Structure 1
């Protein structure tokens, strides 16, 4: 049985190159994938680091939560992350934010701890119709610097708004 997944992605080393690698791998493995806008944010809790590109994806997976975590860590390594990478240098960072019933509506502020994932999660949940009414938070998102567009799996630009890949 497939479960719904919310996955946070991030990168602060050549995000215009690395993020498309992440997206291509996810679309290849999970087929239907919904993507929030990709936002450039200031690092949180890390000094002397480049700005991060963050986004949230929603998709269905036949993997257990544990197996999905393993798959994500393997993808990070495949893209170029090394165990020696410090928090200030993230070539690929995949964070499993939530797994569960595909019919469940969600309030991002109740399930996500990282502030930089809240607005993207709200966008993608609204796109797939799974955003709880109380989850429609009006964020000032003062941590967002800009929106980044990258080349998507179908060859067109993605990242400027929530979309289906």
Structure 2
């Protein structure tokens, strides 16, 4: 099942929430900072032990004070006009997070819109990549619930449009 909702990802009661992290995994701004603040200092302490993460890859930690059991950290690509393989890297973020969720027996996972904030990935393009990748994963894993948690109505609108476009072809 795939749902697109408006909300605060740090409040989602799911098995895993995805953190749109930087490569150090040591906290930052936006979603990353909000997740670190909500999870508490234990998250930062654990992140220090896993020595960062490459763009497009994913690593998993405990959720600590979050309502989620796990946090899956993935550094999204910084948009450079599409000249540095950003689309493939973004797709890899979603695929690797979903794979880690399945490997850790997660029945539910919540995503933010990866790379569309300070990394400037165009929201229309990012939403299409995310929705297509998630729907492809769900074909093979229909028992997992995936939520796209949108921070604002503009983001919600783009994801809703991307889902509508994608399901018209099914």
TM over 0.5: no
TM-score, normalised via structure 2 length: 0.30
TM-score, normalised via structure 1 length: 0.30
Higher RCO structure (Cα 8 Å, ≥6 apart): 1
Greater share of residues in strand? 1
Greater share of residues in helix? 2
